[in-house]
Amino acid sequence: MKEIKLFTLHPCINSTENFIKHFNLEPLTQSFNFQWETNTPDYLIATEHIYKNKKLNRIFKNLYKKSKIKIFYAEEAMGCDWNIFDYGLGFDRNLIINDRYVQLPAPFDFFKNFIFNPENEIKTIEQAKILLTQKNKFCNFLYSNPKAHPTRDILFHFISQNYKKVDSLGKHLNNTNTKATGYIGHIEDCVLIKKPYKFSIACENAFYEGYTTEKILTSLQAHTIPIYFGNPLASLDINPKAFINVHDFNSLQDLLEFIKEIDKSDELWCQMIAEPWQTYENKESELKRKENYYNFINNIFSKEIHSAQRLPQGTYIDIYQNWFFNRDFLPSTFFEKVWHKLSSIALYGSTK
């Protein structure tokens, strides 16, 4: 069994056991003996947290030269910096860089902690009609993070101002007496708190192809119709008949008219609620992505270190790396707020 000395930069991972569990790598423990190495790891695995967590950023810079293989594991909507990493895992569906990149597992696998029912137990119109009698509220909006793509807030305000009030249940834009918990508690209560509603605004924090997260999964499990924005290719992961895809509409008004139509027709609402959450094609794609994921990681760890290295070498790579590692870590909350405000003004009235 090959020994793999590694270190991972993530606030929730501080041991080999956490590493294996967090990245769902139990099947690979039959082939590799993973060892937690804090000083000179052969494999340095970084996540998006190195860009926003000052402590992790400092550790990353300290271990970078001491490590031999650098891997970026994106759990948010962002790409890999190929000038500082040998390998990358992310949400991009169509990115091909030889053997350096793989798309992460599909949402029902990747966000398995949020999955309480892997399949829709409402399978008939009759069952959906019984469920409808328990739906006494219109639409929910459950978020704590204000730093997201402006379309999320735009949908909340547009639907509320032009049709019916949308209940904000989280810390962000809260307009109810209920304040749901943050991300960790969200796992436990987000399905339950959404259940009384016919619809859910299920928007990602970014517009990014391939990035489908727990937002739509928890809404489906609560048997609300997700009003979804974020990944324009979400129908490759989720049955398109089971949710309202904001990306399919030319304007917010067209979207709203469709929501009204579903809201006013018990038959149409029940049809959508009774749809399976995944088509046969969705499930086949899910299996293929899982297979690719394990094959990709296995390929990295199976090689000798020298033959697994993929970082280019040369003058401008050195210039870039010197710039990257010598720059100050200074995330600007002020400029983030300015950008978010300007983006909201520029994009108001547009779903794109």
Q: What is the pLDDT of residue 342?
A: 54
User: Is 197 within 8 Å of 176 (Cβ atoms)?
Assistant: no
pLDDT confidence tier of residue 338, bands split at 50, 70 and 90? low
> Is residue 350 predicted with pLDDT exceeding 50?
no
Average pLDDT of the chain is 92
Q: What pLDDT digit, counting tens, does each position of 259-303 carry?
A: 999 999 999 999 999 999 999 999 999 999 999 999 999 999 999
Q: What pLDDT digit, counting tens, does each position of 165-193 carry?
A: 999 998 899 999 876 665 555 676 889 99
Q: How many Å apart are CA 21 and CA 121, to the nearest integer?
A: 28
Tell me the mean pLDDT in the region 44-67. 96
User: Is 163 within 8 Å of 188 (Cβ atoms)?
Assistant: no
Q: What is the pLDDT of residue 194?
A: 95
pTM, 2 dp: 0.89
> Is residue 78 predicted with pLDDT exceeding 50?
yes
Provide CATH 3.40.50.11660 ranges for the chain. Answer: 120-277
Residue in 154, 189, 193 with CA at minimum distance from that of residue 177: 193
User: Is 173 within 8 Å of 152 (Cβ atoms)?
Assistant: no
What CATH architecture is 120-277?
A: 3-Layer(aba) Sandwich (3.40)
> Is residue 114 predicted with pLDDT exceeding 90?
no
* C-alpha of 92 from chain center: 11
Rg (alpha carbons) of the chain, rounded to whole number: 22
pLDDT confidence tier of residue 87, bands split at 50, 70 and 90? very high
pLDDT confidence tier of residue 352, bands split at 50, 70 and 90? very low
Q: What is the pLDDT of residue 260?
A: 99
More confidently predicted of 146 and 140: 140
Tell me the mean pLDDT in the region 326-343. 58
> Is residue 97 predicted with pLDDT exceeding 50?
yes
Q: What pLDDT digit, counting tens, does each position of 202-243 carry?
A: 999 999 999 999 999 999 999 999 999 999 999 999 999 999
Q: What is the pLDDT of residue 252?
A: 98
Chain position carrying tokens 């509320």: 160
User: Is 78 within 8 Å of 90 (Cβ atoms)?
Assistant: yes
Q: Which residues pair with 227 in a beta bridge?
A: 201, 244
More confidently predicted of 17 and 185: 17
Cα-based torsion angle of the residue sequence 119, 123, 129, 133 in order, rounded to the nearest 10 degrees: -20
Q: How many Å apart are CA 71 and CA 343, to the nearest integer?
A: 32
